[in-house]
Amino acid sequence: MTEQDLIKFVKHSELFDYMVTRPLWHILPNWELTWDDNTDHFIPEEDSFAEKVNEMLDELIVTPITDNYHDNEDILAEHVQQNLNWNIIKVHGWWISCDYQDVINQGSFGDEEQKNLLSAAKGRIETAIKHGQSNFDDMEYGHQRILAMVLASILYQRSNDIV
């Protein structure tokens, strides 16, 4: 995935900010993001995650791709299983007995510098692009929902730097 692929994936998306930053409005109330075609970044605004989103996107460009982004998500689920004692088990590739988004979100608290979250996000974006979904809005809804939660979890984990 190139930098231009990632820019195309997020720019002028109708749903990106609604699904990624709106759930974090209680931290920074200005959740709507505005794209700047001149800089190919979101415009930083007061009480907004725009600057952190830009930093996260820049970081995604240099994040190495793993063979299977599910492996990164499994590490987070295993953290929940082992450290939070949630009664979850993986059966035929699926984590059973809990909402998958909750598992990944809670597992992110044990993810040093959000490395697994970033790798999972990059893998999900690259997979979407390979399947002809070149913009966040074009993604299949289930994968879109999980990607949005992964990106929101990264921002949440980094919100201490903001407030």
Element (H, E) at 35: strand 35-36
Quick: pLDDT tens for 74-121: 999 999 999 998 889 899 888 888 888 888 889 998 899 999 999 999
How far apart CA 138 and CA 141 sit, in angstroms, is 8
Quick: pLDDT tens for 119-155: 999 999 999 999 999 999 999 999 999 999 999 999 9
Question: Does the pLDDT value for residue 162 go beyond 70?
Answer: no
pTM of the shown model: 0.93
109's tokens: 């608290």
For residues 97 and 89, is the Cβ–Cβ distance under 8 A? yes
How far apart CA 72 and CA 70 sit, in angstroms, is 5
Which residues in 49-80 are b (16+ Cβ under 10 Å) and which e?
bbebbbbbbeebeebeeeeebeebbbbbbbbb
Quick: pLDDT tens for 4-25: 999 999 999 999 999 999 999 9
Domain ranges within the chain, ordered by starting residue: 3-65+113-161
Structure confidence at residue 94 (pLDDT): 86
